[in-house]
Amino acid sequence: MKKIIFIITLFLSSAFIGCGDDDGTTLRWENQSGSDIKDIVWVDNNGNDNQWWDGITEDTKRTTYKEITKLDGEVDGVDELGDPTLILGLQASGSSGYKSISDGSPNATIEKNADATIVIGFAKKK
């Protein structure tokens, strides 16, 4: 009987270890806008900044992956001169790890636990 209880305990503890916290959702950007973007911001649906990628992301280059906590949101950014009134349009082609993207809009929904790469298709001043 003790062996059975031990085996059941071992089985249950291994099951709980396998069901631990997720590894998190990470996001990076690929700039295909035709111009450099100074800072990129992932903003949640309430207008709160969820993650920042500081520094210049040159045209045709990618940012590093960063963890995000909000899966629904939009991208915002400033241009290479620091102008904060930049509209960034996303494109599904070339992107991965997302549930939905409306081509040309700044809005996206990222898949949970994904290592997502989202393409910025254009950048223009508001």
CA count, 13 A, side-chain hemisphere, 19: 6
Angle at 62 between CA 56 and CA 64, to 5 degrees: 85
Q: Which domains does the chain have, with CATH numbers?
A: 23-125 (2.60.40)
Per-residue pLDDT, averaged over 42-66, amounts to 94
pLDDT at 24 over 50: yes
pLDDT at 21 over 50: no
pLDDT at 18 over 50: no
